[in-house]
Structure 1
Amino acid sequence: MPVLEIGGTHVCAAVVDGRQIVGTIQKRPLRADGTAEEFLAAVAGAAAPLAADPAATWGVAIPDPFDYARGIALFEGVGKFEALRGLDVGAALGARIGAAGFAFLNDADAFALGEWAYGAAHGTRRCVGVTLGTGVGSGWIVDGRAVTEGPGVPPDGKVHRLTVDGTPLEDRMSRRAIRAAHRAAGGDPGADVADIAAAARAGDAAATAVLRAALGALGAALGPCLRAFGAELLVVGGSMTGSWDLFEPWFRAAAPDLPPVAVAADATASALAGAARHARAG
C-alpha cells in the first residue's frame, strides 16, 4: 500500500506491506511557509518514484488542523502550511499523482498507531504517542483505535491544545518556542534545538535553563493526562528525541508517577505503518 507522511519540514513516501517498508523511503524537504504549488510539487516528487497502482488508495498522515474526512486543509495561525488553507488536498494530490483516493489521518495518531501495532507499545491496551518536532503532537490509543475523548484525553486528543499557567503549551514547548527563549537569553540566533541541547550538555547555563523550562512545561501539561488516561506506556518520537536522555529528567521532574517512556526506534516508519493500517481499515 502506498503511503505518505507529511511533517512540518519534510514529506516521506513509501510502499508498506504489513509492518514492512518495501524498497526505499522517498523523502523530500517541505517549506512550512511555502506556497501551495511548492507543497504539492514536493509531495508529488516524493510519491512519483513509487510508481503506485493508479487504482490504489493512499494512506496519508498529515498534521492538523485538517478536515481528515474531506481532505481539506484548515491551517491557520499555526506557523505552517498557511498557504494551503481551504485547499482540497485530496483532489489536488489525486490530479498530480494519479491516485484513486486518500485515507487521511493525523500524523501523531499515525505514529501512535504504528507504535501500538508494530513498535515499542505492541502488546499494550492503552498507550500514548507524542511527537516532538516543529510542535507537539499526540495520539491516544485504546485497543488499537485512536481516541479523541475520554478520561485524561485532551481536547480532540491534541496535547498542543493544553495550557501551562494560562499559556498555550506550544508557546513554551516547541521548536520555535525553544529557539525564541534561547535567543532572548542571549544565545546564538541561528541555533536550533539540537545545538541548544549540545550547549546544555557542555554546561551552558542559559541553554540548560531554556530546555529545563520547556520540558517542565511539557511534563506539567501531559503528566495529569497520562495518569488519568491510564497509559501503560508513553512513546516519544520526532526530531527532538535524539536528546531525550537529556530531556527526560526535566520532563519527569514536572510529572511524577508517570508510566515508562520509550523512544521510538524509527518514528517515520511507525507513522508510515500507522497510515497504511488506517487506510486498510477504512
Structure 2
Amino acid sequence: MSNVLFSSNEIDWQFPGMENQKQVAVCMDVGGTSLKSGILTAEGSLVPGSHHDDPVDSHGSAEGIIRAFASSLRGSLDAASAARCAVAGVCIAICGPFDYARGISLMRGVGKYEALYGVNVKERLQGMLPVPDGTPLLFDIDSSCFARGEVWFGAGAPFDRVIVFTVGSGLGSAFAVNRRIVLEGPGVPWLGWIAGQPHRNGILNDAISRDALIRRYHELGGRTPDVEAVARRARAGDERAQRVFEEMGAELGSFLAGHNVKEFGAECLVFGGRICRSFDLFAGPLREALRQTACVRAVLAAADIEASALRGAAQYVFDSGKGDAHAPV
C-alpha cells in the first residue's frame, strides 16, 4: 500500500479540463527499503496527490524488484495522465555501481539489489510503463540527484560552488558549479565520491556512516542498534552519545579541510541523509574544523531531506532535453 508524501512545497494544480498541458517529469528515488515516486514540474513543484512511498524488498528476486519499480512509477504516470500532464521524461535516482547511460545494474557486494546484477533495468521497464514511444527513461546517481535538488531549489541555491553530502548507511557526495553537477576537475574525486578516498586504514566511508557511529557508541560503553536512539540519548544528556556525534563532525570536518574543499573552492557545504536529521548534534565541531578554510561561507543542513532527490531527478529530465545534464568544472 502506498503512503502519500510531501504536504509542503506543492502548488495549486489544474486537473482534467486544463487547456494547456503542463510539462512534468515522473521521478523515483530508489532506497534500500522504499521507493519514493512523484510528478514534478520544471520549477521543482511537487504535484499534489502524486507522491508515494512504496515498499520494496531490495533482497528479493530481480523479477520482484522490477515489478515494484514499475508499480511505483505507474502510480505517478497514471496520476499524470489523469491530470492531463505531458510527461517530458522519467528519471530514476539509484545508487551504484550502475551503468547509468544504458540502465544496467552493476551492484554486487553492496548489501542490496544484488539480484539486479547485469540486468538491463531500462529495457525491462520500458515495456511495462504506460508512456508514449520515445519518452526518455533516464537513470542518475542518487547523490547527484539529491545535490541537484538542493542547489536548484534548496539550501545550496544562493551559492555558485557547492558540495552536497548524504550521510546514512554510507557517505555520499556530489559537486556542483553554477547548479551543474561536475564529475571531474580540481578537488573533485572519482564520480564526486569523497568517501572513497584513503582514510586511516581504509577509506573515509568506513569512518563516517551509520555503522561507524553505532560502533563507536558501543566502544564507549553504550548499547543500541539504532542511530535515532543514539541521537535521542544525546539530546537527553547522554555524554557518550553526544561524544560520538561530536567526534564524527570533527573527523569529517578535518578531512574535508585537508582534502577537497579548498582545492575545489567550495563556498557552501550542504548535509542531508538520515543521520543529518541529527545535524545539530555534530554541526558545531564540523564548522569549527572548517573555520580556517577561507572559501567556505556556509555549512548547512539540507532544506528537504525527503524530496530533494526527486526534484533533482526532475531537473535532470529537463536539463537532458537541452544537452548533457553534467558539465566539466
TM-score, normalised via structure 2 length? 0.77
Q: Counterparts of 1:71 and 1:206 in 2: how far apart (Å)?
A: 44
Name the stretch that deviates more: 233-242 or 116-125: 116-125
Cα offset, 1:32, TM superposition = 4.1
Corresponding position: 1:210 with 2:247 = no
Q: State which of 117, 120, 124 in structure 1 corresponds to 2:159.
A: 124
Q: Counterparts of 1:144 and 1:165 in 2: how far apart (Å)?
A: 33
Aligned to 1:27: 53
8 Å contact 1:73–1:85 — kept in the other structure?
yes
**How far does the alpha carbon of each residue in 1:242-265 deviate from its partner, in whole angstroms, 9 at most, with x for none?**
211111123234444352112122
Change (3 A) 1:146 1:229: same
Aligned to 1:168: 203
Aligned to 1:64: 96
Change (3 A) 1:13 1:249: same
Q: State which of 170, 173, 176 in structure 2 corresponds to 1:135.
A: 170
Structure 2: unaligned runs, 5 residues or longer: 1-24, 321-329
User: Which AA in structure 2 matches 1:132?
Assistant: V
Corresponding position: 1:225 with 2:260 = yes
Change (3 A) 1:217 1:154: farther
Cα offset, 1:157, TM superposition = 0.7
Q: State which of 80, 84, 106 in structure 1 corresponds to 2:112.
A: 80
- Report the 3-state secondary structure (helix = DSSP H, G, I; strand = E; otherwise coil) of the residue aligned with 1:266: coil
Q: State which of 160, 179, 189 in structure 1 corresponds to 2:214.
A: 179
Q: Counterparts of 1:179 and 1:44 in 2: how far apart (Å)?
A: 35
8 Å contact 2:253–2:289 — kept in the other structure?
yes
Cα offset, 1:186, TM superposition = 4.0
Q: Counterparts of 1:113 and 1:93 in 2: how far apart (Å)?
A: 24
8 Å contact 1:169–1:217 — kept in the other structure?
no
Q: Counterparts of 1:93 and 1:184 in 2: how far apart (Å)?
A: 46
Between structures 1 and 2, the one with greater helix share: 1
Query: Max radius of gyration: which structure?
Result: 2
Q: Counterparts of 1:126 and 1:177 in 2: how far apart (Å)?
A: 29
Q: State which of 109, 112, 122 in structure 1 corresponds to 2:144.
A: 109
8 Å contact 1:14–1:23 — kept in the other structure?
no
Name the stretch that deviates more: 212-221 or 63-72: 212-221
Q: Calculate percent identity across the aligned residue pairs.
A: 36
- Report the 3-state secondary structure (helix = DSSP H, G, I; strand = E; otherwise coil) of the residue aligned with 1:23: coil
Q: Counterparts of 2:94 and 2:274 in 1: how far apart (Å)?
A: 16
User: Which AA in structure 2 matches 1:148?
Assistant: L
8 Å contact 1:129–1:138 — kept in the other structure?
yes
Aligned to 1:95: 127
Name the stretch that deviates more: 242-251 or 96-105: 96-105
Name the stretch that deviates more: 23-32 or 68-77: 23-32
Question: What's the Cα RMSD here?
Answer: 2.3
User: Which AA in structure 2 matches 1:135?
Assistant: G
Change (3 A) 1:58 1:76: same
- Report the 3-state secondary structure (helix = DSSP H, G, I; strand = E; otherwise coil) of the residue aligned with 2:155: coil
Change (3 A) 1:187 1:154: same
TM-score, normalised via structure 1 length? 0.89
Change (3 A) 1:268 1:201: closer
Name the stretch that deviates more: 7-16 or 201-210: 201-210
Aligned to 1:3: 27
Q: Counterparts of 2:92 and 2:174 in 1: how far apart (Å)?
A: 15
8 Å contact 1:164–1:220 — kept in the other structure?
no
- Report the 3-state secondary structure (helix = DSSP H, G, I; strand = E; otherwise coil) of the residue aligned with 1:21: coil
Aligned to 2:38: 14
Q: Counterparts of 2:54 and 2:210 in 1: how far apart (Å)?
A: 20
